[in-house]
Chain A
Amino acid sequence: MKKLHYSELWCSSPRYWGGLALLAFIIALGLGSAYYMEHHGHWVTGMSNQVVWGLPHVFAIFLIVAASGALNVASIGSVFGGPMYKPLGRFSALLAIGLLAGGLVVLLLDLGRPDRLIVAMTKYNFKSIFAWNILLYTGFFAIVGVYIWTMIDRTVNKHYKMVGFAAFFWRLALTTGTGSIFGFLVAREAYDTAILAPMFIIMSFSFGLAFFILALISAYWWAGRQLGELRLTKLKNLLGVFIGAVLYFTLVYHLTNLYITAKHGVEAFVLLNGGIYPVMFWLGQILIGSIIPLFLIYSPAFSKSRFVISVASVLVLIGGFFQVYVIVIGGQAYPMSLFPGKEVLESSFYDGVVASYVPTLPEAMLGIGGIAVAMALVAIGSRMLKVLPESLEDPEDECA
């Protein structure tokens, strides 16, 4: 096997700078939107006392979940000893940090009082999953940071395995924590189930890998470096497995809910008669996010096409986004049953009726801004650190 050389993504091409300028522009728009929302208050958004978490939270949770999944490639390399994946470890860790930062920025800027960041960082209620998550996120940055360091710096390389394990378990904890934000909400029928946490882990595998494939292809395109077929095929096949796993967990999730008679209402809402949500579920998550990508990935006709692999990854991300949307927004829109056996005739507070939520432009801009933050961090990071191998040509000797 050839010796690998890592180097910074050193290209002065207009491709790089243009791309970065575009990202900066999107980030500026996102910040502007956040300022607009904070300045006027949240009434300028579609969020209300009925749907309290809106589009920004969909973006944030999506990014945070994807972040821990993006670390997967590094974990396979170090924890499970996959030699094909090992050269990709550094980039995978960098992407994980970027995505997490992007998600957190969105989450933070959507707070009612973002100026109280210091309060959030210094006052903890240890009964709160949310507080635990703040610690998990901070720890994730630290551990993955060290992880990259052990991968890059030869002098500390002996700790690489250990840190790799730590990072692996930390990321599992992180996604479990993110899933538990919802899993422990006894108040809302759609959430009150333990399967949400493992489901979030599987979702993270799939979203994270899709992000990784896209980022890898674009980085090598930006830099004009070589990216071998074989490696991409491996990643692609792995993505297929993860998509299948998410589908399976979705099935189990809905089957368990259907088994519980009390939850038939909320199930029917998400699967059949909930207006936009069943459409998002069937069309968004199942068709666009799972079936078409599976077809693209496994159909022999396209198996080598880089373009098709990218399209499949994008579709997985779109589907995943809809999945998170249905979980976050759909779960809130479905009315809580305060008075079983009774119908609500009148209420000034929308008791017993499906809450409506129409996202507004600033919310969307803030969320997209978060994605841009993630991408920009990765772009800058790979220019400053030696995270990408100069060439990822397929090795001559087979070593899978």
Chain B
Amino acid sequence: MGKHDDQLDMKRREFIGKTVLAAGAATVAPGILLTVARAANETRGVTSAVRWGMLIDTNKCADDCTACVDACNKENGIDLVQRPEGASDADWNAQRPQWIRKVKLRDMATQVVTTLPMMCQHCEYPPCVDVCPTGASFKRADGIVMVDRHICIGCRYCMMACPYKARSFIHQNVENQLVAVPRGKGCVESCNFCVQRIDAGNTTTACQEACDKAGHKAILFGDLKDPESEITRAFKTHNSRQIRAELKLNTGVRYIDV
């Protein structure tokens, strides 16, 4: 099953990917960036020469740290969804949106305890996209799986289909959204690798940035198709795996030592 095995796609179509990265790397004054952004208009948008992915080293993920979750909440305005008056603790916890969550596990044989962040795994063959009746769930050319909220009808079939429980439904009105992250009642959403940052040329997600800042460096985000990227090199030197590998979804998010 060539396409389906556990190997990431390491094709060496690096050219455009690199130009995009170069544009992103040009961290200079805003005036100059302006020209960069306009020059980038020539290539116009996402390309399949890039596949964004993530490698999470569970050994480095600290037990009581929630830096990634907090950063995500802030970057994407997740915490703008407030607990409705009259909702019980249990209801609120089951209903509030969570794009990224910390999970703590104990191996039943060895008793080893691991913690790790779970989020949308950005499957190459995403079941959520397959089942979505309107095509609102889709995969961008660069491998990011997201929801077009303009045509999501809120049927939640994608939530039924996602094998990682990665998606959240917005159960109430949202006010004061972030300009870059529009969201509202009645649609489904999930981690989109901070797509607004990526599109602006950034090469880290909010969670990675926060994890690095906290000194753990458990999250590594990057282009899986670029042979020179840090993440590609890390994949070569570490043993990583996908969660629920038996489903053969070729996820973009991989874990070390789970």
Could you list which residues of chain A lie within 8 angstroms of chain B, going by C-beta atoms? 38, 40-43, 48-50, 52-53, 111-114, 116-117, 119-120, 123-125, 127-131, 134, 181, 184-188, 332, 336, 338-339, 341-351, 355-356
Min distance, Cβ B170 to any Cβ of chain A, angstroms: 7
Chain A contacts for B109, CB-based, 8 A: 341
Contacts A49-B168, A338-B164 given; indicate if A351 touches B106 (C-beta within 8 A): no
Residue from A112, A127, A342 in contact with B105 in the complex, judged by beta carbons closer than 8 Å: A342
Complex A-B: 11 CB contacts under 8 Å = A42-B169, A112-B156, A128-B130, A129-B131, A185-B127, A339-B258, A347-B102, A348-B93, A348-B102, A349-B118, A356-B90
Is the CB–CB distance between B133 and A124 below 8 Å?
yes
**Of residues A336, A338, A339, A350, which shows the largest number of chain B Cβ atoms within 10 Å of its Cβ?**
A339
Q: In the complex, which residues 92-133 of chain B have their Cβ closer than 8 Å to any Cβ of chain A? A: 93-98, 101-109, 113-114, 118, 127, 129-133
Residue from A123, A186, A332 in contact with B151 in the complex, judged by beta carbons closer than 8 Å: A123
The number of A-B residue pairs with CB atoms under 8 Å apart is: 180
Ranked 3 nearest A-B pairs via Cβ = A112-B154, A112-B186, A48-B94
Interface SS, B side: loop
Residue from B131, B134, B168, B171 in contact with A123 in the complex, judged by beta carbons closer than 8 Å: B134
Interface SS, A side: loop
Within the assembled complex, what's the spacing in Å between the Cα atoms of A185 and B160? 7
Min distance, Cβ A89 to any Cβ of chain B, angstroms: 33
Min distance, Cβ A351 to any Cβ of chain B, angstroms: 5
Closest B residue to A355 by CB, please name it: B94
Residue from B87, B94, B133, B247 in contact with A49 in the complex, judged by beta carbons closer than 8 Å: B94
Chain A contacts for B154, CB-based, 8 A: 111-113, 116
Chain B contacts for A52, CB-based, 8 A: 156, 159-160, 169
Could you list which residues of chain B lie within 8 angstroms of chain A, going by C-beta atoms? 84, 87, 90-91, 93-98, 101-109, 113-114, 118, 127, 129-135, 151-157, 159-165, 167-173, 185-188, 243-244, 247, 258
Chain B contacts for A111, CB-based, 8 A: 153-155, 186
Closest A residue to B154 by CB, please name it: A112
Contacts A188-B160, A342-B106, A349-B165 given; indicate if A131 touches B134 (C-beta within 8 A): yes
Chain A contacts for B130, CB-based, 8 A: 127-128
Is the CB–CB distance between B186 and A41 below 8 Å?
yes
Min distance, Cβ B163 to any Cβ of chain A, angstroms: 4
Min distance, Cβ B73 to any Cβ of chain A, angstroms: 12
Chain A contacts for B129, CB-based, 8 A: 125, 127
Within the assembled complex, what's the spacing in Å between the Cα atoms of A42 and B187? 11
| Extra pairs beyond A339-B243, A345-B106, A349-B101 (10, CB < 8 Å) | A42-B186, A111-B153, A112-B188, A120-B134, A123-B151, A125-B135, A187-B247, A336-B165, A350-B94, A351-B165
Chain B contacts for A125, CB-based, 8 A: 129, 132-135
Min distance, Cβ B185 to any Cβ of chain A, angstroms: 5
Is the CB–CB distance between B165 and A43 below 8 Å?
no
Chain A contacts for B93, CB-based, 8 A: 348, 350
Min distance, Cβ A38 to any Cβ of chain B, angstroms: 8
Chain B contacts for A124, CB-based, 8 A: 133-135
Within the assembled complex, what's the spacing in Å between the Cα atoms of A49 and B151? 20
